[in-house]
């Protein structure tokens, strides 16, 4: 099942550390089949407020996403982002083809 690394960066101190992070992150993704789906675009807020930006990186499955996040290459650059931005990041599995919102009812009943 496809999985995603998702980050909501509420604010970023765009200095040399973030520049370096952006220059180096792509090389950490290749080995794990990661690719950006959403990055660097301004969201259109249709409900509530949304400070900051959304980043979505797709991986072939949850294991690839987790292994990328825990990899020495990514861990080496991670502080460049976490020490110079305020945000949250998660790893989450997607849903399969044909999934419908009502399928969730079987999980909660």
Q: Taking the domains of the chain in order of start, what are their residue ranges?
A: 3-108
Model pLDDT for residues 64-91, shown as the tens digit of each residue? 999 999 999 999 999 999 999 999 999 9
> CA 105 to CA 24: how far, in whole Å?
42
> CA 45 to CA 64: how far, in whole Å?
31
At residue 107 the predicted structure's pLDDT band, cuts being 50, 70 and 90, is confident
- Judged against a pLDDT cut of 90, whether residue 6 lies above it is answered with yes
At residue 28 the predicted structure's pLDDT band, cuts being 50, 70 and 90, is very high
Taking the alpha carbons at both ends of the chain, their separation in whole angstroms is: 23
At the topology level, CATH places domain 3-108 in: Alpha-Beta Plaits (3.30.70)
Q: Helix, strand, coil % (nearest 5) of the chain?
A: 40, 30, 30
- Judged against a pLDDT cut of 90, whether residue 29 lies above it is answered with yes
- Judged against a pLDDT cut of 90, whether residue 109 lies above it is answered with no
The pTM is what?
A: 0.92
The percentage of the chain sitting over the pLDDT mark of 90, rounded to a whole number, equals: 91
Q: Phi, psi at residue 61, to the nearest 5°?
A: -165, 175
Model pLDDT for residues 30-48, shown as the tens digit of each residue? 999 999 999 988 899 999 9
**In a 3-state reduction of DSSP, which class is residue 87?**
strand
Q: At what angle do helices 16-29 and 72-82 cross, to 10 degrees?
A: 150
> CA 93 to CA 4: how far, in whole Å?
6
Residue 40 has a pLDDT of 87
> CA 104 to CA 75: how far, in whole Å?
34
């Amino acid at each position: 099942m496809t999985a995603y690394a998702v980050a909501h960066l509420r604010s970023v101190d765009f200095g040399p550390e973030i520049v370096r992070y952006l220059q180096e992150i792509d090389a950490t993704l290749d080995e794990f089949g990661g690719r950006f789906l959403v990055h660097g675009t301004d969201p259109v807020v249709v409900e509530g407020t949304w400070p900051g930006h959304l980043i979505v990186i797709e991986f072939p499955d949850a294991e690839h996403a987790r292994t990328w996040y825990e990899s020495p290459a990514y861990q080496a650059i991670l502080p460049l982002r976490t020490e110079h931005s305020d945000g949250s990041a998660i790893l989450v599995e997607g849903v399969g083809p044909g999934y419908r919102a009502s399928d969730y009812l079987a999980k909660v009943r």
